[in-house]
Structure 1
Amino acid sequence: MAKTIFITGASRGFGKLWAKAFLQRGDKVAATARNLDDLTDLIEEFGDKILPVQVDVTNKAQTIEAVKKAHDHFGKIDVLINNAGYGVFGAVEEVSEEEARKQMDVNFFGLLWATQAVLPYMRAQQSGHIIQVSSVLGLFTVPTLGLYNASKFAVEGLTETLATEVKEFGIHVSLIEPNGYETEWGSTSASHAQELDAYTNLKTAFRAGYNPDHYGVPAATVNALLQLVDAPEPPLRLILGKIGYPAVKAVYEQRLATWEAWNHVSTEAHGK
């Protein structure tokens, strides 16, 4: 059965790939972008199956109106995919207040506004699937992406909580956690903080570890996303790519070992 999808950040990268895949299989898509010209090719190919909506996800009122417009137009929203986001590159000390706030506004608050906007419709229909595009960097961190890491850790905490709150309404909630992919995320879509010489050695060492095999092919994610959307009982978390799981496993094994080693201190701190 065809589904109605609302997807943010559909102008490029994962968002555009996924929007097109849904349209090709007969789903209806409300696709948001800051510039609707970026959706011209999809509009020309798919006509009234796509509803292009101009949205700045940091504008709460605009986001609420966009979700209402999509619901009024198609009659329902089966799936929300919060895909809009970008990365700020820079050591924590280097990132300005403006850059930090914008990072959280787009990656966290933009996702929150769309989630809050769609929930009344999904509660009323007693069904729905909210998919948040997080990252493996919401599970562990790498240097020089501190604000991006923080935004995705926030998305993880919010979404895990949300899943427990809306289950009784028949609403499923999932986090997509991609490892690195060959998209514009690290190039034209990225923002770079003003550099301090103190972090040159760190950045040089970090970049020296670059391995092109660690970056997946964006088009290869399409089938995984369709499987997630079609699953009757979708998982809360789905890692995309072959690098993510072993990296997450190693990090969590190290964390568990540390907590175990310090557990006597933790227990004493309980006080009774």
Structure 2
Amino acid sequence: MRVWFVTGASRGLGRAFTEAALDRGDRVVAAARDVGPLAELEARHPGALVRLPLDVSDRAAVRKGVDQAAAAFGRLDVVVNNAGGMLFGMLEEATEEQIRAHFDVNLFGAIWVTQAVAPYLRAQGSGHILQVTSMGAGGGMASVGLYAAGKSALDSVTQALAMELAPFGVKVTNLQMGGYDTGLFTLGTTATEPDPVYDGLRAELAAMWGEDAGPPPSNAAPVVMELVDLPEPPRRLIVGSRSYDLVQQMDEARTAEYRAWEHLSRKADG
């Protein structure tokens, strides 16, 4: 039996991971700004789920919350940094307030949780931190560049973290998620004030993305359950077939561009 600490647990991927962990007999401390939607799940799993109201952008609240989570079942085994949102709009349109609020949750919130849980995992000599990033963590795309930037930064920080915690028996994995029907583009979205000069590009993007909201988050849960059972899990895992193909295409395009301009790069040696 493992003890999970999941942020953003009220809906989407966080909710799916929470349900899957409970269904296999594990215990979960489920954190979210609004834990009301978890009441029914708590009733279905009495004694196995603890609801924890938490705003991950509040560093002091995170430290207090993690202490409560560790005390709830006596340990922490799997930590899922899932809380996040979408800032949708062109870079020029985004306000300072929107940008800072976005990074406070998507990047700094995950860092605050990670800093708070690390001492517990080190002390027990085990544990697994799962950072929910994105298939877009390797590069940006128009109108979602700030979202990708936060996920890319978290990806880089997590690679360093994996090296830092490995000597203590703690595992770390970036979950490079694809598009799931999580409500990210509805309930979880903050939109900029549209500038008409970008209307043409918006139309192109809308046509390219289409109307498909993606598969249900529950499709990803079995993969995560299998991942945490691996004795030597990967430090990065692309989640989803379409996501896997898109990441490979992006990597190939980047490599091709590097090679095309290799002659100019090498001139810098003098």
TM-score (norm 1): 0.96
Specify the alignment match of 2:6 in structure 1.
7
Report the Cα distance in structure 1 between the residues aligned to 2:118 and 2:50, rounded to whole angstroms: 20
Report the Cα distance in structure 2 between the residues aligned to 1:265 and 1:168, rounded to whole angstroms: 41
Specify the alignment match of 2:195 in structure 1.
196
Instruction: State yes or no: 1:255 paired with 2:257.
Output: no
Equivalent AA in structure 2 for residue 88 of structure 1: L
Specify the alignment match of 2:59 in structure 1.
60
Specify the alignment match of 1:142 in structure 2.
141
Deviations, residues 69-121 of structure 1 (Å, cap 9, x unaligned): 11122111011100000101100001111110011000000000000000001
Specify the alignment match of 1:239 in structure 2.
238
Specify the alignment match of 2:156 in structure 1.
157
The alpha-carbon deviation at position 47 of structure 1 amounts to 1.7
Report the Cα distance in structure 1 between the residues aligned to 2:36 and 2:162, rounded to whole angstroms: 35
Deviations, residues 21-42 of structure 1 (Å, cap 9, x unaligned): 1111110101001122121111
Specify the alignment match of 2:103 in structure 1.
104
Equivalent AA in structure 2 for residue 154 of structure 1: A
Identity over aligned pairs, percent: 39
Deviations, residues 205-255 of structure 1 (Å, cap 9, x unaligned): 110123456822321111101011111111111111121111111111121
Instruction: State yes or no: 1:131 paired with 2:100.
Output: no
Report the Cα distance in structure 2 between the residues aligned to 1:3 and 1:170, rounded to whole angstroms: 16
Q: Secondary structure at the match of 1:118?
A: helix
Report the Cα distance in structure 1 between the residues aligned to 2:269 and 2:124, rounded to whole angstroms: 45
148-157 or 258-267: bigger deviation: 258-267
Equivalent AA in structure 1 for residue 240 of structure 2: G
Q: Secondary structure at the match of 1:186?
A: coil
Asked if the contact 1:30/1:53 (under 8 Å) is kept, the reply is yes
Report the Cα distance in structure 1 between the residues aligned to 2:256 and 2:24, rounded to whole angstroms: 46
Specify the alignment match of 2:32 in structure 1.
33
Report the Cα distance in structure 2 between the residues aligned to 1:214 and 1:10, rounded to whole angstroms: 20
CA RMSD after TM alignment? 1.3
Aligned residue pair count:
270
Asked if the contact 2:136/2:247 (under 8 Å) is kept, the reply is no
Specify the alignment match of 2:47 in structure 1.
48
Instruction: State yes or no: 1:168 paired with 2:167.
Output: yes
Specify the alignment match of 1:230 in structure 2.
229
Asked if the contact 1:163/1:173 (under 8 Å) is kept, the reply is yes
Q: Secondary structure at the match of 2:241?
A: coil
Q: Secondary structure at the match of 2:80?
A: strand
The alpha-carbon deviation at position 268 of structure 1 amounts to 2.7
87-96 or 239-248: bigger deviation: 239-248
Specify the alignment match of 1:91 in structure 2.
90
Asked if the contact 1:132/1:176 (under 8 Å) is kept, the reply is yes
Asked if the contact 2:121/2:127 (under 8 Å) is kept, the reply is yes
Q: Secondary structure at the match of 2:47?
A: helix
Asked if the contact 2:181/2:213 (under 8 Å) is kept, the reply is no
Equivalent AA in structure 1 for residue 70 of structure 2: H
The alpha-carbon deviation at position 150 of structure 1 amounts to 0.7
204-213 or 134-143: bigger deviation: 204-213
Where does the alignment leave 5 or more consecutive residues of structure 1 unmatched? none
Asked if the contact 1:92/1:144 (under 8 Å) is kept, the reply is yes
Specify the alignment match of 1:179 in structure 2.
178
TM-score (norm 2): 0.96
